[in-house]
Amino acid sequence: MSPGRLVAQLSNPVVTDALVVSLKTSAIAQALVLLLGTPAAYLLATRRFPGRSLAIVLVELPLALPPAVAGIGLLAAFGRLGLLGGTLNALGVRLGLTQVAVVLAVAFVAGPFYLRQAIAAFETVDPDVVGASRTLGAGRGRTFFRVVLPLARSGLAAGEALAFARGLGEFGATIMFAGSLQGVTQTLPLAIYTEFDENFTAALAMSAVLVVVSAALLVALRLTLQWQPSRPTSRLLFAPSR
């Protein structure tokens, strides 16, 4: 099992198709997670409202669920016989066994990893700094993008790295809800499972790809965190000491 044989597998269409499907669906899913998850996390971190604890439990629930249960959950919600099935069917939309289903499965399973870290990251942002920004005239939006986000950046990046890695490796929910079709829904983990009895070398090559990608992610994250060390914001330079 030489590295040469593994590298040769990169010209195998099963491998390249799986790589494309994985990267494409991951990118879309993570974009969804970031776009929807960041404001949600900020709200959950900074606002106190009745039902907040319940909302946080619901958000973290997929973390505790085995992926197979997540798959059943997605079918129960979006499947043709599921809760929203009738409505979706009436609109002519079928989600099961499509590439959209892969995106949903990845977002559902990986999202909570980002959300949990993001909530924690936003909670470490000193509200006094935010308050100072507002009293100095910056609006809510400007404060969020210019003050809050940079301060929470390392926590958010760590959360997203975790979510991306988790999403890339997603198998159970995907295979149940999206099925497996080369070039459409067959992600790297699904392709590994299908190929390991037909072409073990291909399966090994794809596993190597996943390991390399995950390692690269962690290295990149380490480096980013070293360049921008998170400073404690609880002690301000211009506010009176407590």
Partner 1 sequence: MRRTAVAVALLLAVAASAAGAALGGRSSQPKLTVFAAASLTDVFPKIAPRDRYSFGGSNALATQIEQGLPADVFASANTKIPWQLHRMHLVTRPVNFTANKLCIIVAKGNPLHIRANRTLERSGLRIVMAAAGVPAGDYTRTVLAKLGMSDLVDKAISQETDVREVLSKVVLGEADVGFVYATDAKTVAGQVGVVGLPERAQPTVVYAAAAVKASPHLKEAEAWIRQLLGGKAQRELRAAGFRPVPH
The contact set with partner 1 (CB under 8 A) reads 75, 79-81, 85, 94, 96-98, 175, 179-182, 184-185, 193-194, 196-198, 200
Report CA-CA distances (Å) from 225 to 158, 213, 220: 9, 18, 9
User: By the 8 A CB rule, do 21 and 102 touch?
Assistant: yes
Query: Amino acid identity of 181?
Result: L
Closest separation between CB of residue 180 and partner 1, Å?
A: 6
The first and second tokens of residue 25, run together, are: 């669906």
Nearer to partner 1, 74 or 221 (CB): 74
Instruction: Identify the sign of the CA torsion 34, 39, 44, 49.
Output: negative
User: 20-42: string of b/e by CB count within 10 Å (b at 16+)?
Assistant: ebbeebbebbbebbbeebbebbb
CA 213/CA 27 separation, integer angstroms? 14
Nearer to partner 1, 124 or 182 (CB): 182
Closest separation between CB of residue 193 and partner 1, Å?
A: 6
Closest separation between CB of residue 27 and partner 1, Å?
A: 22
Contacts of 110 (CB under 8 A, 6+ apart): 29, 30, 33, 163, 164, 166, 167, 170
Nearer to partner 1, 108 or 113 (CB): 108
Short-list 149, 174, 167, 164, CA closest to 230? 149
Contacts of 100 (CB under 8 A, 6+ apart): none
Short-list 156, 163, 158, 175, CA closest to 63? 163
CA 9/CA 133 separation, integer angstroms? 54
Closest separation between CB of residue 76 and partner 1, Å?
A: 10
Closest separation between CB of residue 17 and partner 1, Å?
A: 13
Nearer to partner 1, 56 or 97 (CB): 97
Nearer to partner 1, 156 or 176 (CB): 176
Closest separation between CB of residue 75 and partner 1, Å?
A: 6
Closest separation between CB of residue 85 and partner 1, Å?
A: 7
Nearer to partner 1, 181 or 210 (CB): 181
Nearer to partner 1, 27 or 204 (CB): 204
